[in-house]
Amino acid sequence: MKKENKSVVFWLLSGCVLLFVMVVVGGITRLTNSGLSMTDWHLVTDTFPPLTEAKWEETFERYKQFPEYQKINIHNDFTLSDYKFIYFWEWFHRFIGRIIGLVFIIPFVYFLIKKRLSSETIKKCIVLLFMGGFQGFLGWFMVKSGLIDNPDVSHFRLSLHLTFAFITFAYTLWVALDLIYPNKTQIHFSLRKLARIALVFLLLQIIYGGFVAGLNAGLIHNHWPLMSDGQLIHDSVFIEQKTLFLNLVEGKSGVQFVHRTMAYVVVGLILALYFKSKKYTLSLPQKKGINTLVVVVFLQFALGVFTLLYHVPLWLGLAHQIMAFFLLTAMTFTLHRFSK
């Protein structure tokens, strides 16, 4: 790494850390059913939570006008204290988003003024800027779907918001890796192709993880390796929706089945990459990337099984999401080392 790039790399990796924190807090927000507690969005006035008891009462009364309270929480002796708890997590999630924006924009302008960025890096950072703004839009687009009639957000929008956060993180890491490893390495094209395929299936698995979360599909068929009633493919996979396609994207059983099955595919592809790599002379970073991938994918697989068996407790659901982040990190690093 060139000495003049160290501060830029530190800046980009700081963004990666903040994106990781953002996803973790987003996971807590989802698992505590806090995502619909803030019923509007303002760039400035929502920066801090209500500062007086009167403001809290006013905000709580506004929340009572929406489906989540009227259809669910009104029956649960839901108090202002309960509301403050769920409000905190949604507010904190949005607050971190604002911090990420500042952490990106201010140093970016500074590095531009100081001419510390190459034209290629500037282009990549502009892409990151748009990705960050679009991610904020996706967050509100998701929340809005739960404020009309249904007291749950669309699982399609939730998955889109989650997956795009992962992609934004991966691209930020990729840009940092371009600066950390400026010199070209030997490219093994067959390994790169297999790593790309593994990344595609990993992203599909993340998408379906969002579907499972959005539909609360982890609360059914809490058995492994078979689904309920000792069936490999439970009958309910085919009967919840009108067509097979809808069952596989909107049915709880179908979505869980795909997520379970895709896990085997991801593990299989990473193992295939590992054993195929044994035929080549690899650099130390390439070896470390593949070895880390194998360890992390098995940890993630085990966490997925236990999360299912124990009916998605908060800590296991969160650990499963965090490990998915680590898996994508290892996948991005490994692919980068086989591509540049």
Residue range 160-213, pLDDT digits in tens: 999 999 999 999 999 999 999 988 877 889 999 999 999 999 999 999 999 999
Q: What angle do CA 310, 331, 266 make, to 5 degrees?
A: 50
Q: How far apart are CA 270 and CA 285, in angstroms?
A: 16
pLDDT digits (tens, 9 = 90+) for 99-125: 999 999 999 999 999 999 999 999 999
Alpha-carbon gap, residue 270 to 206, rounded angstroms? 15
Give the pLDDT confidence score for residue 26 in this predicted structure.
93
Residue type, 56: W
The answer to whether residue 43 scores a pLDDT higher than 80 is no
What dihedral angle (degrees, nearest 10) is formed by the CA atoms of 191, 194, 196, 202?
Answer: -130
Full 3-state SS string of 195-244: HHHHHHHHHHHHHHHHHHHHHCHHHCCCCCCCCHHHCCCCHHHHCCCCCH
**Helix, strand, coil shares of the chain as percentages rounded to 5?**
75, 0, 25
Which has the higher per-residue pLDDT, 4 or 216? 216
Residue 149: band (very low, low, confident or very high) from pLDDT cuts 50, 70, 90: confident
Confidence of residue 1 (pLDDT cuts 50, 70, 90): low
**pLDDT in the model for residue 30:** 92
% of the chain beyond a pLDDT of 70:
99
Residue 164 CA to residue 172 CA, distance in Å, equals 12
Q: Quick one: pLDDT at residue 230?
A: 94
Sign of the Cα torsion 115, 169, 20, 339 reads: negative
CB 152 within 8 A of CB 252: no
Whole-model pTM?
A: 0.93
Assigned token pair, 219: 């609360």
In this predicted structure, what is the pLDDT of residue 5?
84
Q: Look at the block and give the residue holding tokens 């400035």.
A: 44
What is the per-residue pLDDT for 10? 95
Burial class of residue 28 in the structure, from the number of CB atoms within 10 Å of its CB (0-12 exposed, 13-18 middle, 19+ buried): middle
State the average pLDDT over residues 86-92: 95
Averaged pLDDT for residues 78-100 = 94
Q: What is the pLDDT of residues 233-280, one digit of tens each?
A: 999 999 999 999 999 999 999 999 999 999 999 999 999 999 999 999
pLDDT at 2 over 80: no
Residue 42: per-residue pLDDT:
80
* Whether pLDDT at 7 is above 80: yes
Q: Average pLDDT, stretch 229-234?
A: 96
Res 44 pLDDT > 80:
no
Burial of 88 (0-12, 13-18, 19+ CB in 10 A): middle
As a whole number, the mean pLDDT across the chain is 94
CA 26 – CA 5 distance, rounded (Å): 31
**179: its two tokens:** 């600066």
Going by pLDDT thresholds of 50, 70 and 90, the confidence category of residue 52 is: very high
Mark 297-334 as b/e (b = at least 16 C-beta within 10 Å).
beebbebbeebbeeebeeebbbbbbbbbbbbbbbbbbb
